[in-house]
Structure 1
Amino acid sequence: MPTVNLGGSGLRSLDESLREQRAVDELYLHENQLTELPDWLGELTELRVLDLSHQPLKAIPDLSRLQRLEFLYVSDLAITELPSTLGNLSSLQYLGATDNGLTSVPESLGRLSKLIELRLYGNRLTELPTTYGDLAGLRELHLDRNAIQRLPQTFDQLTELRVLSLRANALVDFPTQLSRLPNLRHLDLRANHLTQLPDLPPDAFPALEKLDLRWLNLPTTPPWIHSLHHRGCATYRTKT
C-alpha cells in the first residue's frame, strides 16, 4: 500500500491534495512546523501508521474513523492532553505519547483491547485511570519521568505485561499488585520515593528476570528478594 513520507519537510500546513490519497497506508508527518491539523486527516481510513511527532502541534484531531490504525506516534508536541476519541481506535497496537505536557490521560484508552505497547514517559502524570487494568493484551508500559504516586490496584489484571518501567516517579508504596503478574519480566523502580519493601511470598514475581531498585533508600532486604536472586533474577540495588 502507498506510503507518504513528509517528515522533516518544514511544513506549516498540509496541502489539500493529501486529502485525495485515500489509499495511503503509512503517513509520516514528523519533525515539521505544524501547529494544527485539518479535520479531514480522519478521513484517510486506510491508514495503518501515523507519525505526528516532534513539532509544535497544539491538538490532535478526531481520528476515530481510522479503524485500521495500528501505530500512532504523538511524542514531543505542544499538547497538554490526549483526546478521549483515541479510545475508539480499535486496531491500535502501539501508542507513543512521550515528552509532552500531559497531566492526565483519558480513561477511554482502557478500551484499546489490541494495544501491545504504551509509552507515556516524560510527562506530568500523577496517576493512571483504573480502566488501564483492562488492557488485557498490553506487554510493555513505559512511564519513566512522571510524578506517579501509586498504581491502580487493577494492574493485577495485566496478565500479558512483560516490561514495566517506572523510573523517576514519586511512588511511596511498593506496588504489590504487580507481584502476581505471571509474565512480568522487567520491572524498573529506580529513583522513586520508596523507603521499604513489603513482605511478599517467596514465589512472588514468578517470571521476573530483572528488578531495578537503584537510587532508593532501602535499609533492609526482605527474603523474597533473595528468592528472586536464587531463581536467576538480576536484582540491582544501590549499596547502603
Structure 2
Amino acid sequence: MEKYLKKIVEEKDTIKKVDLSEKWLEEVPEVLRECRMVEEIKLTGNDIYEIPDWLFELPHLKKLDISLNDMETLPSAIIKAKDLEFLSFDSPIKKPLPKELARLKKLKKLVIHEQIYGFPDEFFELTSLEEIEFYTPKITSIPDSFSNLVNLKSFTLTQLLFEGKAKPIDFEAVIEVLSTLPKLENLSFSQAGMSSIPANINKLPRLKELNLRGNGIKVLPKELFELKDLRLLDLGQNGIKTVPAEIKNLGQLKTLKLNSNFNPPIDLQNLFNSVKELSSLQNLQLWSCQTNIKLPENIVDWTSLKELDFDNNKVQHLPESMKQMTGLKKLRISNNPIPDAEKEGLVKALKGTKVIV
C-alpha cells in the first residue's frame, strides 16, 4: 500500500487517474486532497465507511467509483462534484436513492450496487444520463418515470443471487418502460433470473446490443429476430435447445455468443443454414456446448468471420473447405475428438490465423 501512496505523492501535481481499488482502506487517503488535477478516482472494494467532503471539491473530478465499501449512504456533499460524468456507489441502506443526485447535471453514467429502496422524483431529472447499471437492486420493475431519461442509450439490470427469497423481475414491464426511450441501443439482463424472453422485446427495434447471458432461457421467440439492427447478441450460458430458422433475419449481426448451452446440447443446424444471410458476422462463440457440431462445407462462404470458437464440443471432423478460410484471425478447435491429421492440415493451411488446437 505504501508504494501506491508514495507514487501518488510524487505525482500529486500532475496525476489524473488514481486507482486504489481493493487496498483494504478504511478511510480516504489525505494525500488525494492535494491532487488538484485528478480526473478519475477509484476506491471500489475497500472498507471505507465515510467519504470526506473535500473529495467532492476536487476541481477536475469527472469519474468517481466508491462502490462496494461500508458506507450507509451517499454523502450530501456529492452536490459539490458539479463536473462529475461517471459515478458508481452502493445504494443507501433502507433509504431511497438520494435526491442530491439530481444536482449532478453532467452525469452521463451511473452505476448502483445493492438493494434499491426507492427512486425519488428528483432522480428522473438526470436527463443527461446515457448509461445506467443496476447490480443486485432487488427490484421487480422500474418506474414509468424512466421515460424522462430521454438520452439513455444503455441499460443494465443484473440480479445476482442473494439470501432469502428472490423476487423475480417483471421483464415484460421493464421492457414496456424502456420502449419509451428514443435512444436506447444497448440492453443487458445478464444473470437476471430470466427464464423466458418476453414477446414485447420487439418493442425495442433500435437495439444494437442485447446481452441475456447466464439466465434460464430455453426457447428463443420469433419476436427476438425482429430486432434487425442488432450487432451483438449474447445468449451464452443458458439452456437453449435450438437456434430457430429466423436467425437469418439478423443480417447486421457482427457478434453472436451461444457458448455453454449444453443442457440439452443446442441444435445449431439453422445457424449453419444461414451462412449467406448472416454476411456481417465476425465473431461466433460456440464453445462448451457439448454438441457434435457438423460444420458445413459452405462455411468457407462466411468470409466476414474473423473469430470462430467451438472449443470443448464433440466435433469429429472438419470440412476440407475450412483450409480456405484465410480471413480468420483466431480459430479455437481444442478439446474436440478431431483427428490429429485434420488439425495439423488446418494449422498448415491457415498460416496467418491463430489456431488453438
TM-score bracket, shorter-length normalisation: 0.7 to 0.9
In structure 2, what is the equivalent of residue 59 of structure 1?
141
Match of 1:13 among 68, 71, 95: 95
Q: Indicate the larger mover: 2-11 or 165-174.
A: 2-11
Separation of aligned partners in 2, 1:19 and 1:8: 13
CA contact (8 A) 2:303 2:327 kept: no
Cα distance per residue 1:29-85 (max 9 Å; x no partner): 511332x53484784472422222233333333334433211112123554441331
Native 8 Å contact 1:69 1:89 kept in 2: yes
Of Structure 1 and Structure 2, the greater helix share is in 2
- One-letter amino acid of the counterpart of residue 191, structure 1: S
1:154 match:
246
Distance 1:221 1:41, change over 3 A: farther
Name 2:257's counterpart in structure 1: 165
Q: How far off is 1:114 after superposition?
A: 2.7
Q: Do the aligned residues in 2 keep the contact of 1:48 with 1:69 (CA within 8 Å)?
A: yes
Shift of 1:223: 3.0
Q: Which runs of 5+ in 2 are unaligned?
A: 1-82, 161-166, 338-357
Equivalent in 154, 159, 175 of residue 71 of structure 1:
154
The equivalent residue for 1:216 is 313
Q: Residue 179 of structure 1 corresponds to which residue in structure 2? A: 275
Q: Work out which of the two has the higher radius of gyration on C-alpha atoms and give 1 or 2.
A: 2
Partners of 2:279 and 2:296 lie apart in 1 by 19
Residues 151, 239 of structure 1: alpha-carbon distance in 2 compared, 3 angstrom cutoff: closer
Partner SS state of residue 224, structure 2: helix
- Provide the alpha-carbon RMSD of the alignment: 3.0
Aligned to 1:126: 218
**Is contact 2:97-2:119 (8 Å) kept?**
no
TM-score (norm 2): 0.58
Deviation at 1:187, TM superposition (A): 0.4
1:197 to partner: Cα distance: 0.8
Indicate the structure whose relative CO is greater, using CA pairs within 8 Å and at least 6 residues apart. 1
TM-score (norm 1): 0.82
2:331 partner amino acid = T
Q: Which runs of 5+ in 1 are unaligned?
A: none
Q: Is the 8 A contact 1:190 1:212 kept in 2?
A: yes
Amino-acid identity (%):
20
Query: How far off its partner does 1:225 sit?
Result: 3.0
C-alpha contact (below 8 Å) 1:164/1:187 kept by paired residues: yes
SS of residue paired to 1:226: helix
In structure 1, distance between residues paired with 2:329 and 2:86: 44
Name the stretch that deviates more: 182-191 or 194-203.
194-203
Comparing 44-53 and 216-225, the one that deviates more? 44-53
Contact 1:195/1:218 (<8 A) preserved: yes
Aligned partner of 1:225 in structure 2 is 322
What aligned pairs does 1:180-195 form with structure 2 within 5 A after superposition? Answer: 180=276, 181-195=278-292
Partner of 1:52, secondary structure, is strand
Once the two structures are TM-superposed, the CA of residue 200 in structure 1 deviates from its matched residue by 4.2
Secondary structure of the structure 2 residue equivalent to 1:179: coil
Contact 2:304/2:327 (CA < 8 Å) preserved in 1? Answer: no
Query: What do residues 145-175 of structure 1 show as CA deviations (whole Å, max 9, x unaligned)?
Result: 1111122322212222111111101413332
Give the drift of 1:214.
1.1
**What number of residue pairs does the alignment pair up?**
238
Secondary structure class of the residue paired with 1:74? strand
Query: Residue 21 and residue 131 in structure 1: after superposition, are their counterparts in 2 closer, same or farther (change >3 A)?
Result: farther
Distance 1:79 1:22, change over 3 A: farther
Give the deviation of 1:88 after TM superposition: 3.3
**Conservation of the 8 A alpha-carbon contact between 1:104 and 1:126:** yes
Offset, 1:21: 5.5
